[in-house]
Structure formats: C-alpha cells, structure tokens
Structure 1
Amino acid sequence: MTFDLRAWCAEHLGSEPAEVLYERVSISSVFGVRLADGREVYVKAREDDGRAESCLTAQALLAGRGFPCPRPLTPVTFAGTLAVHAESSLPGGSVLRGDTPPVARRYAAVFARLMAELATVSVPPPLPNPRWARWDHDGPGLWPAIGFLDSRDQSVVPSFVVDTAERIRKRLRATDLPCVLGHADFEAQNLRWRSGEIWAVHDWDSLAWQPEAALAGAAAGAFANDPPPSLVPVESSQAFLETYQEARRREFTEEELEIAWAASLWTALHNARWEALHGNAPISLTAVKEQAPERLRRARIST
C-alpha cells in the first residue's frame, strides 16, 4: 500500500514531518514523526475494513477519562483504500517481561480495568474482528481468510495444530454468551510500564466484539508475548483468570470458564500455523503441543 505521509501530515496536522523517528510496516503501517512545529505524533495507516471509526472512538473516550493510552489527534481519514489517523506520543516506559503467575496478575489487573472502562462505551461493533482472533468468521474453512497465508502450502501445518484448532473453534462458536467490546491484542509488546505502574496501552486498532470470557481467555494465554510469541504456562493463565475475576468482582460461570480456556489456545494456534507456513522456529507450535491437552481438559473438550 502506498501512502504520502508528508502530504497527509500537512493537510490533517497542519505541519509536515521534519523527521521520521519510528516506522513499522505490518498489518498496519505506523510512523512516529517529529513535525516541523516540534510536535511528536504517531500516524497509523491500514487497509479500511470498516473497523477503524469504532476503534478510534473508543480510544478517544478512554483517553479523555484519563485511561493510560494515546489520545487521538484526528478523526479517521481515508487515503485511497487506507484508513488513517494520528495520535499523541506517549514516550518512555518499558516492557514488563515474564510469564510467571505474579506477572500474570499484574497484567490481569490492567486488563480488568480496561474491560471495565470499555463496558461503558457504546460504539458500533468493530467487525470483522482482528484476523488472529477471528475464530468467529463465517467463511468456509477452519481459518479466517488471510490471502498471504492461504497461498502457502498448508500441508506443512502439523495435523495436531489443525485438529486442535478445529475443536477449539467448534467449542467457541457453540457458545451463546453475549459479545462485548474488548482489546484483542493485549500483549506485552503493546504495553509500557513505569515505576511498577502501567504507563501506556497501545494498539487500539485491535478492539474486538466477542464474549468477555473469550477476550479474557485470549489475554490470559498471550499477555507475555513480546516477539517471538508463545503461550504462557497453564498456571500463569490460571492466575490471570483468577485475578481478572477478582478485579471485576464477579465469578465466571462454568460456561465462561470453558470458553476462556478454549480461547486461551486460539492465538497460539494462529501463531503455530504462521510458524509452520513460514518455516520459523517452532516456538508457539511446541507450546501448543505441550499444553493443548491440559487446556482442552479445562475447556471440557475431549482429547
């Protein structure tokens, strides 16, 4: 995708970039720039799939309440097929690394706070959900349609990954729990901490509309991800889910616990497939192979 950063900043921020401080091109393109007027901002551009305005509205509402996240500086604008916006820079802070139960509890407390804030936000559901979380897609196959993955040789994906994903997806799709707004990429790489406290939560493009238990379960499995991604130990997911329920001041029902444990595997399965298709080191793949039986048991999915 092509995008004229200089022209966009001049038109929508009133100043051209003097320096590009950061650039990442992945599912979306992110540019950290210092403008000619001295401001430091982040500009995000991604293919428009109808999600951007809901995500940005929710982010703006939380930032306005003082939640630790970047403040949007522009509405969503459109450059060809791209949805583009700018947000404030929140420099500083560091990644909190580790996947032990004590670390899990710290992440869970932040996730509970985030979900409580989003529970009071009313926006159109940001659908379709992010691709790595899209177990609820209505396409014909197991995986959501992702062209650059689907074009590769699928026979290299181990059968146990495919089989586990089929059973997890069947269980998740069978639930009739209500959907809520939540963060579907709650991973270490997207959070920054300062003096032991949360400093910033990033990647608000990744909001989703799914059952609360599924969102909490996904975060419970993936909170420690800072490339390369993996899957945290089962006892750390347990600590995350316990702390999340305590912070939200309600216990999950039996159905919710099953959905949470099922969802705790889905991101790792997506990443295991990615590794196999790209010939990468089998980090998530190994974790799935080792942990799937116990997580399936907790989700009450027969092995």
Structure 2
Amino acid sequence: MDDLPDWLPGWCVDQLGDEPVGVLFERRSISAVFGLRLAGGRDVVVKAREDDGRAASCVAAQVRLAERGFPCARPVTPVVRVGALAVHAEESLPGGELLRGDSPDVAVRYAGVFARLMAELAEVTVAPPLPNPRWIRWGHTDPGLWPAIGFLDEKDQSLVPEYVVDAAYRARKRLLAADLPCVLGHGDYEAQNLRWQNGDVWVVHDWDSLAWQPESALAGAASATFANASPTTLAPIESSDAFLAAYQEYRGRPFTEEEQEIAWASSLWTAAHNARWEALHGTAPVSLDAVRAQATERLHRANA
C-alpha cells in the first residue's frame, strides 16, 4: 500500500466510494495498472496512462462490448483526468490461462476470437481513438520513418540494422498507399492479453490499445503478434497465413487483393517496430532475427 501513488487512495474513495486496503498486483509499462481490494471486499483494477486523448473512446468501446456480452472486464468508472493522467477503474476478472504456441492450429484459434472481437466492434460507434498506439502508427505525420517517441528517438539510431529500416520503410510505403476505410479494432492482440478456460476464451484485456486502421491491417498485425507473451516476436509465416485465412472465413468475407497486401505489410511493420526497440535497448535479438528471416517473403506478399 505504501508504494501506491499518493493520488490513488483518494481517487478510489471519490470514484468508487471505498478506499483500497490491499494490493493484488501492480504492473507498469505504457500504462500503470493496479489490482486493488477495497475495504468493502470488492476487487477492482485501476488503470492510469498519459492522457493523449484516446482513453475516453477506448473505455466507451469497452463498456459497449461488456454490455454486449463480449468477454472483457466491465469499466465501473468513466475516464477521470488526474494531472497529466487519464484514469479509470474496471471490474476484476482474474483466472484463466495463457494459450501458448505459434503453430497454424493455435493461430486459427486466435483468429476465431479476433474475428468475433472485430464483428462486435463493428456495432460500436465511438470517436476514433487517435493517435493510434505507437507500434501500429504507420500513418503518423512526424518527420522521418518512425512515429516520434522521445525516449527512443534520443538513443543512437545507428544501432538499428539497415534491414530493419528497409523493411519498415517498404511496409509503411505500401500501407500509406492503401485506399481502404478505417475501422475500430484491437491494436495489441497478443497472447499475453488473453486468458482461456476449458478451451474457450475467458477474457480479452488491454482495451487501451484500440486502434483506427483498415480491417485487413488490424488482422495482419494480429496475425503477426497473436503468439506474443514475453519476449515479443513474429509468428511464422505459415501461421500468419493460417490466421488470415481463418479470419476471413469466420468473418464470411474474403479480402480483396489490396487487403491481402495490406495485411502482410502491417504484419511486418509491427515486427520492425519491436526489432527497433530491441536494437536500441540492446536486448536479445528475438524480433530482430525474425525480421531478418521473414522480411523478404512478407514484403513480397505485401507487393512492397
């Protein structure tokens, strides 16, 4: 409890009518996430992230999905600004297990959930949650190839291999040339953000990462990242292929040739973003090796 931000106990009293008496978990990444037990015995999850204007739309969409019966945590407060932060609370949905693996069979299972998720979001109307998450923000207007991310941009960019830069440049060029409508979709569809019980999906997390991009681009990104737990990597090409084929079948609509190409281009952009991160931080070259091995084929399929 002593490690909680000073503002959090009072926020809980104001917004939830109860004070926290225990910390179930705490995670800090792009957002700070606190699992709390309140004095009355209720468990909640409080999420705080930099207020960049996205949070209200993301939480509104999450509310609609929960109301429609989709397996996600139901928000129990609106988004409240606390200094430079956007904060909300949602119900706690513990339990379930990670579904690990990156085989085509596993890819098909993840594709089924993603197709259901996208079908539900097609019935939700909110203001586009812009700017898109940085790892899927190829449409930025910042100078240079990558979206402006201060703590990355200040590092030595010569550490990023030329093959990563080339892959990102060619994938982005193809993505920006597309003439496809944008839709609402999950922009961080990774194994670590889902839990399963008895063979079925139990809960999908991380609705802060909703994005506004073409449907095939969102599906393509998901086909690349569905197996990610830690560290992040890039699914095998045959598994991305299986994911995309299954997704189209579940949605009942085959992608056009352009959509197919955009799916493959977006799959490579997300991996290149992760590879750049690895290079700049000097961590194990997992995405770096995957981009080196797969970029040529994915660029070919993207017509890039």
Same fold by TM (over 0.5)?
yes
1:255 match? 258
Contact 2:174 2:303 in 1 (8 A): no
Contact 2:167 2:269 in 1 (8 A): no
Matches within 5 A, 1:79-228: 79-228=82-231
Which amino acid in structure 2 is aligned with residue 207 of structure 1?
L
Contact 1:181 1:207 in 2 (8 A): yes
Aligned sequence identity (%): 70
**How far does residue 10 in structure 1 lie from its aligned partner after superposition?**
1.1
Contact 1:3 1:79 in 2 (8 A): no
Question: TM-score, structure 1 length as denominator?
Answer: 0.98
Q: CA RMSD in A?
A: 1.0
SS of residue in 2 equivalent to 1:127: coil
Contact 1:161 1:269 in 2 (8 A): yes
Contact 1:94 1:193 in 2 (8 A): yes
Which amino acid in structure 2 is aligned with residue 299 of structure 1?
A
Where structure 2 has 5 or more consecutive residues not aligned to the other structure, the ranges are: none
In the aligned structure 2, how far is the partner of 1:3 from the partner of 1:153? 36
Cα distance change, pair 120–199 in 1 and its aligned pair in 2 (3 A): same
Candidates 236, 246, 262, aligned match of 2:239: 236
Question: TM-score, structure 2 length as denominator?
Answer: 0.98
In the aligned structure 2, how far is the partner of 1:55 from the partner of 1:139? 23
Matched, 1:14 2:10: no
Candidates 271, 275, 280, aligned match of 2:278: 275
Which amino acid in structure 2 is aligned with residue 186 of structure 1?
Y
Which amino acid in structure 2 is aligned with residue 290 of structure 1?
A
In the aligned structure 2, how far is the partner of 1:4 from the partner of 1:226? 31
State the aligned residue count: 301
Contact 2:66 2:72 in 1 (8 A): yes
Which amino acid in structure 2 is aligned with residue 141 of structure 1?
G
Candidates 74, 83, 102, aligned match of 1:71: 74
Which amino acid in structure 2 is aligned with residue 124 of structure 1?
A
**How far does residue 167 in structure 1 lie from its aligned partner after superposition?**
0.6
Q: Deviations over 1:222-276 (max 9, x none)?
A: 0000010000100000000000000000000000000000011111111100000
In the aligned structure 1, how far is the partner of 2:269 from the partner of 2:41? 43
1:287 match? 290
In the aligned structure 2, how far is the partner of 1:44 from the partner of 1:116? 26
In the aligned structure 2, how far is the partner of 1:35 from the partner of 1:151? 41
In the aligned structure 2, how far is the partner of 1:65 from the partner of 1:120? 10
Where structure 1 has 5 or more consecutive residues not aligned to the other structure, the ranges are: none
**How far does residue 3 in structure 1 lie from its aligned partner after superposition?**
5.5
Cα distance change, pair 44–3 in 1 and its aligned pair in 2 (3 A): farther
**How far does residue 300 in structure 1 lie from its aligned partner after superposition?**
1.2
Which amino acid in structure 1 is aligned with residue 14 of structure 2?
E
In the aligned structure 2, how far is the partner of 1:32 from the partner of 1:218? 29
